[in-house]
């Protein structure tokens, strides 16, 4: 399973990620739940095309998507204009 770059050096997030992976390997949680934990612990990288797709698929304003991604609305707007 490919790991993404950690959001921070937080020992708590690393422990949660490792625990979720162990639970998944043991069959205690499914792949979707495991992926949700990974999404919380690791920071994904999105390009302009991915941001546009997310906004359209979930009918999000730039401000709402920015809040979800924990970035400024200006970042979402400028990134959305630069389609990869």
How confident is the model over 29-54, as pLDDT tens digits? 998 888 888 877 776 677 888 888 88
pTM of the predicted protein model:
0.46
Phi first, then psi: give them for residue 59, nearest 5 degrees.
Answer: 50, 55
pLDDT score, position 82: 64
How confident is the model over 67-76, as pLDDT tens digits? 888 788 888 8
pLDDT score, position 9: 53
Contacts of 82 (CB under 8 A, 6+ apart): 47, 48
More confident residue, 5 or 57: 57
């Amino acid at each position: 399973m490919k790991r993404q770059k950690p959001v921070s050096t937080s020992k708590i997030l690393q422990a949660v990620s490792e625990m979720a992976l162990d639970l998944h390997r043991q069959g205690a949680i499914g792949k979707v739940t495991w992926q949700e934990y990974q999404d919380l612990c690791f920071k994904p990288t999105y390009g302009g095309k991915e941001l546009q797709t997310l906004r359209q698929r979930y009918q999000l304003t730039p401000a709402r998507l920015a809040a979800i991604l924990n970035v400024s609305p200006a970042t979402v707007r400028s990134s959305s204009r630069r389609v990869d």
